[in-house]
């Protein structure tokens, strides 16, 4: 069976044609991601594939870092979250621990289902009607109730129906995403899901348009966070399940290529670096849900640690000390290749660097024109969408800047002339966060051009910008590439060390002591006194995947006193990994000891039904049968075809009481697996 794998990252888009019967890569393509028009980058990658083989493709599988990068960079659509039954005082106290910056987008009404741990109190739906206008400007809405397992998420479903009577936007129930108990953590994941819906809609829509142009009418699947697959329609409503799916795909590709049972897989991209751990030939998974950029979710997936470091990381300085920011920007070499007028502006500014021009070679491009969004929204039946996209929410300064950027990129000094430098960074940050504009400047990719490691764009412009930086920090321009490479490897190595320490000392996983982080950085540097030689040792080899991995991986491996593996198809490992997955569904539910039930014994919740039975074995049988059906239905919903293999596991919860084991309940977990073709 021949499949087409496509991975769209923050910087590059990869494509692979793979024959699963012969386990051979038949053709590959790699090109730039075109964020302003995703179709262009996807089409360019497919055009690089063998045109004689392309018509033989029978399915397409996708992965992307777009959702992951949106989280890392705190971007996404406008979302609202309705919590039903959450404790307002607890929410006010802990919301930041789960990733929320504020509670501006979170609304709460009361409601407790029967069978919970407090008296039942159905929601007063007039409470929702009273706050209905608060959802007016949302691109998507999430609804999460207390104890959804007690009534099959009935309150969420009613709220969704009421919201859909007023707004034509996706409304997603948290119980359809997560079954875990913590309402605030489920709320964080559901809110994040709502924010990511526009991101994944744009991506899958772009893919479908391109496939149609190539006359490919085949099923489309998307990699989930755990490396399994889901069909496109499911992914469109559950984009949070694509978090870290790009790294998950690269891990699958790395496992496929490496032939090593124990290793670290390091995927260096343009925006982020992702680290996965392989033990006994299997990827290590997370026990309690993915955490990313402060967000705590119940998304089950591979253990992937993502940090802001890539070929397009922004070069920053403090005195003569160079560092790399987690913020992505367009490399100077790339922007000048696309816009020759920027190269002219650089040459004109090369000799008048002044003390207040901290990064005089930087500037901005218009990434998404709000006027185009307005025209698109004007065809919408939802007036609030049209009003929001009309540009009324931009102030006069912002509209003036956008008008200027429509004519082409602007340097930072040109932008400052609009209204001066006072609070310029803060004013620009708002437009950056909603992806209206994107910064360009010096990056490791520019240094690759100067070193000759990569030369796809305008090397001379990168050299001019490097010369400007050289004047500012008084370091010879020829030393800059090595200094920035060293900063890249140092940040890479220190993060790998942090990950390995986290795995050894779980108590530090939420926040490693600052003193340990500082020690790792100091340990990386040589002792100027020559009296000590401390180093960190990894027992695992590192498998480098991603475009620039060959540049940095061997130096990083040497610093960790291990060795590097660079597979042949490392640059397109993500796209290859998309073709290695299956449909996998896991469903779990509890058997609860119920001495006051009717009859006394054990209680199980079967969707919206609550059942009390006398014996544990009867409860286990009822729950297993229910979960078998639920898991198979979800596997079909995600795109499984043909025969589905189902297995289950029963865990008893027992305590030692008076020298005897007392059974308090248990958990049934059912796993369904199926193929996509």
Mean pLDDT confidence for 103-118: 87
Q: What pLDDT, on a 0 to 100 scale, did the predictor assign at position 146?
A: 94
- CA-based nearest residue to 65, from 10, 6, 14, 4: 10
- In this structure, what are the phi and psi dihedrals at residue 379, rounded to the nearest 5 degrees? -90, -5
Q: Which residues pair with 318 in a beta bridge?
A: 321
| Percent above pLDDT 70 for the chain | 93
Q: What pLDDT, on a 0 to 100 scale, did the predictor assign at position 373?
A: 59
Q: Which residues pair with 672 in a beta bridge?
A: 585, 646
User: Are residues 77 and 195 in contact, defined by beta-carbon separation less than 8 angstroms?
Assistant: yes
- CA-based nearest residue to 10, from 66, 70, 55: 66
Q: What pLDDT, on a 0 to 100 scale, did the predictor assign at position 528?
A: 65
What residues have CB less than 8 Å from 598, skipping those under 6 apart? Answer: 612
Q: Angle CA(248)–CA(570)–CA(294) in degrees, nearest 5?
A: 35
Q: What pLDDT, on a 0 to 100 scale, did the predictor assign at position 530?
A: 66
Q: What pLDDT, on a 0 to 100 scale, did the predictor assign at position 172?
A: 94
CA–CA distance, 83 with 187 (Å, rounded to integer): 7
Count CA atoms within 13 Å of residue 173 on its CB side: 20
pLDDT surpasses 80 at 101: yes
Lowest mean pLDDT among 15-19, 212-216, 567-571: 567-571
CA–CA distance, 443 with 327 (Å, rounded to integer): 10
Better pLDDT: 245 or 135:
135
Residue 595 three-state SS: coil
This prediction has a pTM of 0.73
Identify the band that residue 661 occupies on the pLDDT scale cut at 50, 70 and 90: low
Identify the band that residue 511 occupies on the pLDDT scale cut at 50, 70 and 90: low
Mean pLDDT confidence for 357-378: 78
Residue found under tokens 């085949």: 218
Q: What pLDDT, on a 0 to 100 scale, did the predictor assign at position 384?
A: 39
Lowest mean pLDDT among 201-210, 310-319, 373-382, 539-548: 373-382
Alpha helices (H) along 474-572? 480-504, 514-524, 549-559
Identify the band that residue 657 occupies on the pLDDT scale cut at 50, 70 and 90: low
Identify the band that residue 324 occupies on the pLDDT scale cut at 50, 70 and 90: very high
Does residue 142 have a cis peptide bond before it, meaning omega lies within 30 degrees of 0? no
What residues have CB less than 8 Å from 103, skipping those under 6 apart? Answer: 91, 92, 95
Q: What pLDDT, on a 0 to 100 scale, did the predictor assign at position 354?
A: 60
Q: What pLDDT, on a 0 to 100 scale, did the predictor assign at position 492?
A: 95
Q: What is the pLDDT of residues 131-181, one digit of tens each?
A: 999 999 899 999 999 999 888 899 999 999 999 999 999 999 999 888 777
Lowest mean pLDDT among 260-264, 529-533, 673-677: 529-533
Mean pLDDT confidence for 267-289: 84
Better pLDDT: 211 or 456:
211
Q: What is the pLDDT of residues 525-565, one digit of tens each?
A: 766 666 666 778 899 999 998 878 899 999 999 999 999 99
| Domains of the chain: residue spans and CATH | 1-57 (no CATH), 72-143+172-243 (no CATH), 258-338+442-576 (3.30.420), 583-675 (no CATH)
Q: What pLDDT, on a 0 to 100 scale, did the predictor assign at position 531?
A: 67
What residues have CB less than 8 Å from 587, skipping those under 6 apart? Answer: 179, 627, 630, 631, 634, 669, 670, 672
Identify the band that residue 375 occupies on the pLDDT scale cut at 50, 70 and 90: low
Evaluated on CA atoms 527, 530, 534, 537, the torsion sign reads positive
Lowest mean pLDDT among 50-59, 69-78, 651-660: 651-660
Residue found under tokens 């888009």: 13
Q: What pLDDT, on a 0 to 100 scale, did the predictor assign at position 322?
A: 95
Residue found under tokens 């290793």: 263
533 burial type by CB count under 10 A (0-12 exposed, 13-18 middle, 19+ buried) = exposed
Identify the band that residue 269 occupies on the pLDDT scale cut at 50, 70 and 90: confident
Label the pairing between strands 140-145 and 79-84: parallel
């Amino acid at each position: 069976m021949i499949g087409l794998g496509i991975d769209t990252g923050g910087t590059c888009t990869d494509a692979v044609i793979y024959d699963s019967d012969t386990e051979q890569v038949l053709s590959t393509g790699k090109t730039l991601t075109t964020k302003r028009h995703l179709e262009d980058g996807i089409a360019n990658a497919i055009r690089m594939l063998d045109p004689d083989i392309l018509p033989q493709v029978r399915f397409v599988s996708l992965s992307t870092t777009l959702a992951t990068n949106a989280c890392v960079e705190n971007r996404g659509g406008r979302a609202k979250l309705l919590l039903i039954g959450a404790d307002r005082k607890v929410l006010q106290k802990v919301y930041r621990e789960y990733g929320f910056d504020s509670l501006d987008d979170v609304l709460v009404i009361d409601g407790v289902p029967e069978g919970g741990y407090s008296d039942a109190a159905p929601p007063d739906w007039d409470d929702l009607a009273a706050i209905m206008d608060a959802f007016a400007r949302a691109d998507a809405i999430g609804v999460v109730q207390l104890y959804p397992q007690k009534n099959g998420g009935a309150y969420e479903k009613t709220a969704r129906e009421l919201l859909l009577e007023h707004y034509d936007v996706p409304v997603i129930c948290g119980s359809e995403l997560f079954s875990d108990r913590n309402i605030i953590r489920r709320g964080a994941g559901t809110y994040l899901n709502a924010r990511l819906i526009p991101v994944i809609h744009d991506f899958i829509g772009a893919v479908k348009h391109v496939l149609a142009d190539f006359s490919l009418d085949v099923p489309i699947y998307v990699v989930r966070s755990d490396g399994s697959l889901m069909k496109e329609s499911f992914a469109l409503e559950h984009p949070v399940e694509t978090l870290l799916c790009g790294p998950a795909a690269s891990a699958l590709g790395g496992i496929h290529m490496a032939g090593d049972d124990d290793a670290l897989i390091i995927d260096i991209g343009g925006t982020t670096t992702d680290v996965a751990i392989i033990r006994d030939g299997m990827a290590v998974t997370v026990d309690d849900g993915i955490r990313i950029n402060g967000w705590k979710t119940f998304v089950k997936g591979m253990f992937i640690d993502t940090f802001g470091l890539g070929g397009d990381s922004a070069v920053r300085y403090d005195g003569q000390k160079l560092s790399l920011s987690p913020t992505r920007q367009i490399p100077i070499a790339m922007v000048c290749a696309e816009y020759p007028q920027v190269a002219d502006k650089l040459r004109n500014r090369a000799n008048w660097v002044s003390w207040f021009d901290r990064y005089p070679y930087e500037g901005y491009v218009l990434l998404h024109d709000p006027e185009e969004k307005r025209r698109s929204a004007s065809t919408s039946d939802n007036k609030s969408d049209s009003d929001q996209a009309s540009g009324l929410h931009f102030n006069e300064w912002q509209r003036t800047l956008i008008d200027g950027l429509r004519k082409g990129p602007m340097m930072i000094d040109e932008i400052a002339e609009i209204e001066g430098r006072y609070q310029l960074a803060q004013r620009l940050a708002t437009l950056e966060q909603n992806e209206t504009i994107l910064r360009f400047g010096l990056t490791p990719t520019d240094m690759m051009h100067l070193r000759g490691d990569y030369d796809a764009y305008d090397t001379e412009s990168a050299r001019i910008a490097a010369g400007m930086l050289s004047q500012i920090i008084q370091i010879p321009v020829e030393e800059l590439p090595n200094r920035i490479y060293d900063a890249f490897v140092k940040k890479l190595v220190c993060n790998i060390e942090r990950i390995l320490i986290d795995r050894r000392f779980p108590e530090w996983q939420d926040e490693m002591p600052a003193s340990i982080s500082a020690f790792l950085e100091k340990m990386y540097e040589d002792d100027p006194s020559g009296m000590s030689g401390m180093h960190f040792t990894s027992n695992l080899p590192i498998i480098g995947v991603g475009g620039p991995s060959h540049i940095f991986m061997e130096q990083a491996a040497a610093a960790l006193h291990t060795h590097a593996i660079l597979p042949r198809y490392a640059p397109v490992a993500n796209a290859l990994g998309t073709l290695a997955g299956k449909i996998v569904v896991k469903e779990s539910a509890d058997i609860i000891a119920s001495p006051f039930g009717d009859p006394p014994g054990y209680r199980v919740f079967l969707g919206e039904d609550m059942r009390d039975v006398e014996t544990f074995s009867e409860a286990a049988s009822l729950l297993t049968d229910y979960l078998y059906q639920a898991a198979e239905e979800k596997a079909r919903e995600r795109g499984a075809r043909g025969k589905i293999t189902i297995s289950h596991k029963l865990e008893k919860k027992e305590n030692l009481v008076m020298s005897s084991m007392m059974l308090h309940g248990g958990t049934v977990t059912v796993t369904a697996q199926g193929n996509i073709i």
